[in-house]
Amino acid sequence: MRAADVPYEKVTVKNFPKGPDSLAPGHRACQGCGEVLALRLLLKALGTEFIAVSATGCMEVCTGPYPQSAWRMPWIHVAFENAAAVASGVDEATQILSKKGRGYDRRIPVIAVAGDGGTADIGLQALSGALERHHKNFVYVCLDNEAYMNTGIQRSSETPFGAATTTSPTGSRSKGQYTWKKNMPAIAAAHNVPYVATANPAFQFDLMSKIRRAAAIEGPAYIHVYAPCPTGWRMKPELAIESGRLAVSTRIFPLYEIIDGCYEINRKVADPKPIADYFKIQGRFRHLKEDDVAYITERVNADYERLVELSEKFPVKAAPQA
């Protein structure tokens, strides 16, 4: 079956999963954390019949101080850079035990969760290996808060151009981060995996539906999640969702899927809002001048137009939902 035809149940207002959260309350995330909200929604969409693997990072630290754990499904954390490799082992073990009559009688998704540093920087090799090896029940979620927040807001390769962090500070010779955000979804897609998507907790049904789709499709899947971080972005805690909406409506973080190499933009933005609207609620961009914003706007629009071209040239041909 083509990945695009694999049936899955979309999350809507009407069928929003009931019952307790799969990620228990009482964890120690910062006030207004958009990352833990995204994680909670992703896990809730799946229930508890899966195995979770965490990389070291904010989400691991805030959910698992011994003897407490917020994870209501089997969960393992080993280290920072190897969530993909650990998940590879879990998936292959689960499959072979089933084949040998000592395991489950159905597919068990293995969900690896890591931050942007654990994915795009130190974890990139392990992720590339895992995607290339094509583990059947492997879903990798990058919760991208655009810097090393757990260690105190240091820049990563996912920190956006112009953002000030503690290792990309502004100064007389610096306007903050001087490199463009690494395109992780494109890197994941280059591994010929059946499913790649971007998601955002401000679009919760879309986010939850995507992890269900990722888990339903046989083969590795990669979901890159926008994870607003009020603490690290110097933003009011109540603005995480607002920043998520603006990230999409300004084209900064488009929502799309790449299914078997074909593109579909989930939220088309014909008339983008000014990027300055997105920047002004975040202290990390406050030093940027008009010409900086103009340069960023031009590049963001070019990236978006390229995505539109790809979606027109290589569209996902929809099949009727079962």
Partner 1 sequence: MGKRIGIEVSLAVAEAVKLADTDVVAAYPITPQTHIVEHLSELVADGELNAAYIPVESEHSAMSSCIGSSAAGARTFTATSSQGLALMNEMIYIAPVLRTPIILAIANRALSAPINIWNDHSDIMSVRDAGWIALFADNGQEALDMTLASYRIGEDPAVSLPVSMNIDGFTLSHFIEPILIPDQEEVDRFLPPFKPSLQLDIKNPISIGLLGAPECYTEARKAVDNVLRNSKKTVLKAFEEFDAVFGRKYNLVETYRHEDAETVIVTMGSISETAMTAIDEMRDQGKKVGLVRIRLWRPFPDEEFLAAVAHAKNVAVVDRHMVLGCSSGPVGLEVRSLVYTSKLRPVITNFVLGLGGRDVTRDNFKHICDRASSGEVQTRYELVGVYE
Residues contributing to the site for partner 1 (CB under 8 A):
48-51, 53-54, 60-61, 64-69, 71-79, 81-82, 84-90, 92-97, 99-100, 102-104, 108, 125-126, 128-130, 132-133
Nearer to partner 1, 48 or 301 (CB): 48
**Min dist. Cβ of residue 31 to partner 1 (A):** 20
DSSP state of 160: P
Nearer to partner 1, 141 or 239 (CB): 141
**Min dist. Cβ of residue 92 to partner 1 (A):** 4
How many residues are listed for the chain in this entry? 322
Enumerate long-range contacts of 295-298, CB under 8 Å, 24 or more apart.
Answer: 296/161, 296/162
Nearer to partner 1, 56 or 165 (CB): 56
User: How many of the other CB atoms lie within 10 Å of CB of 274?
Assistant: 13
Pairwise CA distance, residues 280 & 300, whole Å: 17
Any residues with CB less than 8 A from the CB of 309 and at least 6 apart, and which?
none
- What separation in angstroms does the CA of 121 have from each of 42, 59, 131, 148? 23, 17, 16, 10
Pairwise CA distance, residues 5 & 2, whole Å: 5
Q: Is 146 helix (H, G, I), strand (E, B) or coil?
A: coil
Q: Which two tokens stand for residue 254?
A: 């488009």
**Min dist. Cβ of residue 50 to partner 1 (A):** 7
Nearer to partner 1, 86 or 214 (CB): 86
- What separation in angstroms does the CA of 95 have from each of 14, 105, 107, 135, 318? 34, 10, 8, 10, 30
Nearer to partner 1, 3 or 52 (CB): 52
Pairwise CA distance, residues 258 & 267, whole Å: 14
**Min dist. Cβ of residue 27 to partner 1 (A):** 12
Nearer to partner 1, 136 or 234 (CB): 136
**Min dist. Cβ of residue 131 to partner 1 (A):** 10
Judge contact between 257 and 196, C-beta under 8 A: yes
**Min dist. Cβ of residue 300 to partner 1 (A):** 33
**Min dist. Cβ of residue 23 to partner 1 (A):** 12
Nearer to partner 1, 97 or 294 (CB): 97
Pairwise CA distance, residues 313 & 311, whole Å: 6
